[in-house]
Amino acid sequence: MSRLIECVPNFSEGRNHQTLDAISAAVRNTPGVTLLDVDPGAATNRTVFTFVGEPEDVIEAAIHAARVGADLIDMAQHEGEHPRFGAMDVCPLVPIAGVTMEETAAYARTLARRLGEEVGLTIYCYENAASSPQRQNLADVRSGEYEGLQAKLSDPEWAPDFGPSEFNEKNGATAVSARDFLIAYNVNLNTTSSRRANAIAFDVREKGRIKRSPDPLTGQIVKGEQGEAVWIPGSLKCVKGIGWFIEEYGVAQISMNLTNISITPMHVAFNECCDKALARGIRVTGSELVGLIPLAAMLDAGRYFLHKQQRSTGVSDSELIHIAVRSMGLDELSPFVPEERIIEYAIADKSARRLVDLSLTRFVEVAASESPAPGGGSVSALVGALGAGLATMVGNLSSHKRGWDERWEFFSDWADKGKALHQELLRLVDEDTVAFNAIMVAWSAPKDQREAAIQAATVQAIEAPLKIMRAATAALEICDAMAEHGMPASSSDVGVGSLCANLAVKGAGLNVRTNAKDLKDDAQREAFLAETKVLEARAQGLEDKVLARVAQ
C-alpha cells in the first residue's frame, strides 16, 4: 500500500489569482504530489490548497508553496474575515493511508523545522504535533491574530517552536499540525424548514444546544455557576453541525464537519441523522459529500451496511463502494464518481501499465509473446489469486445460504480473509515482473557497481515469489475451512481453488530455486530454500486434505 498523507495549507490570499496560480504551480511542479483542490474565498481573503502524496514529497511541496507565499503575500496589507496571523497561516498534515498519526506528527515537526530553517518562517506546532498541551488548540496558538503577534513573540511562554523569534511584518507566523481527516458532509431532508434541520443538527452535533427549560421553582432559565449558558451535548463526538436551506435543490440539509472519522465515521453520522430526523417526523432522503474522502472510509461504510443486512463483507471494493453510495444516497443531488471523489483513485497514475489491468485475452497473449516477462512467477500469482477468489466465493455464498443465517458472520470473516489474499496475489502479479526487470537493469550497471546491484536484485527476485508462496498457502487454509464448513454444492469450486493455490505455491517455488542459485550469500540462500520447502509441504498437505473432503 502507498504511504499517503494530505496537506491542507491555508494561505492569507483569496483575491490575487496570480499569487494563487504561482502557489499552485509550486505544488504541481513537485514530483510525486497531486494537487487535488484550490478553494479561494474573496470575503475571507484566504485560500485552502489540498494536495496529497508520499510524506517526503508532500513536505517538499509544502516548503516550495510556503516559499512562494512568503515572497508574494504581505501580511501588513492583509484584510479578511477569517482569523489569521501569517502568509501561510496554517499547514496541517493528515494521514490518509499506510501512515499512523504518530508518524504524521513526526513529519509535521520535520516540516515545521524546515519551514523555519529554510524559508525563515516563525513556526508554532499545534494539535497532534504540539510541543505542549498549551499549544494544542489552534485558537490559543493564533489568539491575538496578526495584529497581536509582535506582543505575543515578546512573551517567553509563546516563543516559537521553530524559526525566528523576531516579528516578521511581511510573513507573520505559521501554525503546523498533524490532524485527523475532516469530512464536510451534508444530509438531505424531505423538508424545506431550516429550523427543523437546525434542530436535528443540534441533536447530533457534539456541542449540542443551550438548555432552555426553566427551573421548576424560579421559572428562570437555568444558568451555570458563573451565569453562563448551560449546554446539552449532542449524540455524536467530533461532529460540528448546523441546519440550512439549499435553494438550488429546494431542500433543507444538516451540514456537518466530521472532524475525526475514526471516532464518528460518515456512515454513523448518516444513521444518527436518520434516527433523529424520524423522531421529529422527517425523513432523510440522501446525502452529499463535499470534497474527497479516503478509500478506507468508503469501504468501512459498505461493510457497515452489509453487516446490518447480515450479508458477507468479503466482496470487491467496487461492490462495497456501491453499497455505501446507495445506502447513504450519496448520488441523490449529483452523480458520485469514485474515480473523482475517492482520494486514492483520484491520484492514481492513469498512465501506469499494469499486467493486472489487461484483459484475460491480452494477458495470455503477452505471456505467450517473445518477452521474457511476465513469466512463471507472475502467472503463479495470477493462478493463486484465482484460487483465493474461488475460496472467497464459497464463503460469500455460504454466508447467504437459506437456513444458515446464524452462521453468516463465520463465513463472512473467512471471505474477508480470502478477499485480502486475492488482492495481495493480484498485486504480486506485477511485483514479480518488476523484480525480474530489476535483474535485467542490474546487469547493465557500471562495472564497479554491477555485482552488488545484481545481488540486491536477486534477493528481490527471490522475495517476490516467496510472498506468492506465503499468500497462496494462506489461501489453501481458506479452501480447507470452506471444504469442511461451506456449502456442499460448492465443494468442487473449493477443490479447484485448492488446485490453483497449490499450483501457485509450486510455480513460485520453482522461481525461488532458479534465482537462489545466483545468490552468493550461502546462509541467506539456505534460509530462503528452507522456507520454500516448508511452504511446499504445508501447501501439499492442505491440498490433499481439501481434495479428500471434496471426493467424500
Cis peptide preceding 338, ω within 30 of 0: no
In this predicted structure, what is the pLDDT of residue 13?
A: 95
Give Cα separations from 161 to 124, 141, 357 (angstroms). 5, 11, 48
Cβ pair 105, 128 in contact under 8 A: yes
Q: Closest Cα to residue 505, out of 478, 542, 480?
A: 542
CA dist., res. 114 & res. 125, Å (int) = 13
- Backbone dihedral region for residue 208 (phi beyond 0: left; psi -120 to 50: alpha; all else: beta): left
Nearest 10 degrees: CA dihedral of 161, 163, 167, 173? -70
Instruction: State in words which class domain 4-178 has.
Output: alpha beta
CA dist., res. 517 & res. 515, Å (int) = 5
Cβ pair 282, 190 in contact under 8 A: yes
Cβ pair 356, 379 in contact under 8 A: no
CA dist., res. 130 & res. 120, Å (int) = 20
% of the chain with per-residue pLDDT over 70: 97
pLDDT tens digits, residue range 476-527? 999 999 999 999 999 999 999 999 999 999 999 999 999 999 999 999 999 9
CA dist., res. 151 & res. 158, Å (int) = 10
In this predicted structure, what is the pLDDT of residue 328?
A: 97
- Neighbour count for residue 59 (Cβ, 10 Å): 22
Phi, psi for 187 (deg, rounded to 5): -110, 125
Cβ pair 415, 400 in contact under 8 A: no
In this predicted structure, what is the pLDDT of residue 112?
A: 97
Dihedral sign, Cα of residue 432, residue 433, residue 434, residue 438 = positive
| Residues shown for the chain | 552
pLDDT tens digits, residue range 243-293? 989 888 899 999 998 989 989 999 999 999 999 999 999 999 999 998 889
Helix orientation angle between 17-28 and 55-72, rounded to the nearest 10 degrees: 150
Phi, psi for 342 (deg, rounded to 5): -105, 125
Once rounded to an integer, what is the mean pLDDT over residues 420-446?
92
pLDDT tens digits, residue range 346-404? 888 777 788 999 999 999 999 999 888 789 999 999 999 999 999 999 999 999 999 89
Give 23 or 439, the one with higher predicted confidence. Answer: 23
CA dist., res. 124 & res. 394, Å (int) = 55
Q: Grid coordinates standing for 385?
A: 489469486
Three-state secondary structure call for residue 47 = strand
pLDDT tens digits, residue range 56-94? 999 999 999 999 999 999 999 999 888 899 999 999 999
CATH 3.40.50.800 fits 183-346, yes or no: no
CA dist., res. 415 & res. 392, Å (int) = 5
Q: Is the pLDDT of residue 2 over 90?
A: no
Where do the structural domains in the chain lie, given as residue ranges? 4-178, 183-346, 355-551
In this predicted structure, what is the pLDDT of residue 220?
A: 64
CA dist., res. 165 & res. 150, Å (int) = 9
Can you list the alpha helix ranges (DSSP code H) found in 347-485?
Answer: 360-367, 376-399, 408-443, 447-485
**Residue 489 half-sphere exposure toward CB, CA atoms < 13 A:** 4
In this predicted structure, what is the pLDDT of residue 349?
A: 75
The residues with which 122 forms a beta bridge, in sequence order, are 173
Q: Is the pLDDT of residue 462 over 60?
A: yes
CATH ID of 355-551, from 1.20.120.680, 3.30.365.10, 1.10.10.10, 1.10.1330.10: 1.20.120.680
In this predicted structure, what is the pLDDT of residue 33?
A: 94
- Backbone dihedral region for residue 51 (phi beyond 0: left; psi -120 to 50: alpha; all else: beta): beta
Secondary structure E strands in 83-196: 88-97, 122-127, 173-178, 183-189
Amino acid at 198: N
**Residue 2 half-sphere exposure toward CB, CA atoms < 13 A:** 21
Eight-state DSSP code of residue 118:
I
Q: Is the pLDDT of residue 318 over 90?
A: yes
Q: What is the pTM of this model?
A: 0.80
Give Cα separations from 234 to 209, 218, 256 (angstroms). 7, 27, 13
Once rounded to an integer, what is the mean pLDDT over residues 295-317?
96
Cβ pair 172, 85 in contact under 8 A: yes
**Residue 494 CB burial class (10 angstroms; 0-12, 13-18, ≥19):** buried
CA dist., res. 399 & res. 309, Å (int) = 11
In this predicted structure, what is the pLDDT of residue 350?
A: 74
End-to-end CA gap in the chain: 41
In this predicted structure, what is the pLDDT of residue 97?
A: 87
Distance of CA 356 to the CA centre of its chain: 22
Cβ pair 5, 104 in contact under 8 A: yes
Catalytically annotated residues: 82, 432
